[in-house]
Amino acid sequence: MTSRRQFLKTASVVTAGALVTPSALASGKASPLAAAAPASGKRIGLQTYSLGVELLKDLPNGLKRLAAAGYNEFELFGYNEQAAGFGAGGRDGAVTIKAADYKKACDDAGIKILSSHLSPSIREYKSENFAQFDEFWKKAADLHASIGIKYMVQPSLPSIKNDEDAKVVCEVFNRAGEICNNVGIKWGYHNHSNEFVRVPKAGEETPASNDPMARMRARGEYIEQLFLDNTDPDKVFFELDVYWAVMGQQDPCEWLRNNPKRFRLLHIKDRWIIGDSGMMNFPNIFKAGYDIGIDGWFVEVENGSKKGYTQFDAVCESAKYLSKASFV
């Protein structure tokens, strides 16, 4: 990323535990709508789920406001197959914007659409349904390719009770990856916290209560690890949501360092506004991401309507924090 050199220059002054709090929030004085962040020259991405229908109902003005706050890359959500566009993922089905119109509006605002989140509505991962999955991903890949999107990412976890379930899911993932590769798109998977639940090997679900070794075996493997182990690196990459990894009692930096060729994108997320909780070690997270050569990252803000902030306020405040941060 373009900001890596700057990061390396300043890394020596960032201590491992330096958790910076957005100054405007710490002081309690500045309005979140105070002057937009200065043009930082940084790539600052946003997952548009953070805004939902609030963005879509007045897209041109919303994009202008986000660009002024420092955002210049998007990861969309709300792919709508019937409408050949992007909506608010059921939060308001009435607002859907055609893919070409969405791209034009982003081009006009100087925002590049790098990635997109989407999941098939087919629930059962079994071989009888493979053709249906393929059809979903083929249609989606064609639409995404038509507006030059580089990454497509599934953010939802299918039902997995053991390692065999995970292997079937991975077969669908590999097929999706191949379909996307055929039109020049890379296919990835995004975690929440449930991927850091361990599942046992098939047949070892119920260990004898008096056999400690059986109980150890039944702890099994993390779903995220099973996904890493059973997908083809040429077809499937991973996007690490660093907040949900922490919620899954994991060190996101460790997962990045242990799988340097698999993680390509990050979700930069906190309890609320980025940097506000002080619980996420973003200096270390960005360093680990840059060290393995990630290709992008996206701010994700949820629950931004607290404390009198609109969701837009929280999203813009997050960009301001990251624009100023020496570790980005």
Q: What residues make contact with Mg ion under the rule CB under 5 A?
A: 241, 267, 300
Alpha helix (H) residue ranges in the chain: 4-10, 23-27, 53-56, 59-69, 99-109, 130-146, 163-181, 212-219, 223-230, 242-247, 252-258, 282-291, 311-324
Q: Which is nearer to Mg ion, 168 or 187 (CB)?
A: 187
Q: Which is nearer to Mg ion, 189 or 309 (CB)?
A: 189
Find the shortest distance in angstroms from Cβ 191 to Mg ion. 8
Measured distance CA(73)–CA(116) in Å, rounded: 11
Q: Which is nearer to Mg ion, 109 or 268 (CB)?
A: 268
Q: Is 188 helix (H, G, I), strand (E, B) or coil?
A: strand
Q: Which is nearer to Mg ion, 195 or 241 (CB)?
A: 241
Query: Within the chain, what is the greatest distance between any pair of CA atoms?
Result: 66
316 to 193, 240, 299, 309: CA distances (angstroms):
26, 22, 10, 11
Q: Which is nearer to Mg ion, 163 or 239 (CB)?
A: 239
Length of the chain equals 328
Find the shortest distance in angstroms from Cβ 268 to Mg ion. 9
Token pair recorded at residue 205: 């679900």
* Buried/exposed code over 170-182 (b: 16+ C-beta within 10 A; e: otherwise): bbbbbbbbbbbee
Q: Which is nearer to Mg ion, 224 or 241 (CB)?
A: 241
Find the shortest distance in angstroms from Cβ 39 to Mg ion. 26
Find the shortest distance in angstroms from Cβ 119 to Mg ion. 13
Nearest CA to 314 out of 326, 294, 328, 299 is that of: 299
Evaluate whether 304 touches 310 at the Cβ level (below 8 Å).
yes
Find the shortest distance in angstroms from Cβ 190 to Mg ion. 6
Find the shortest distance in angstroms from Cβ 73 to Mg ion. 15
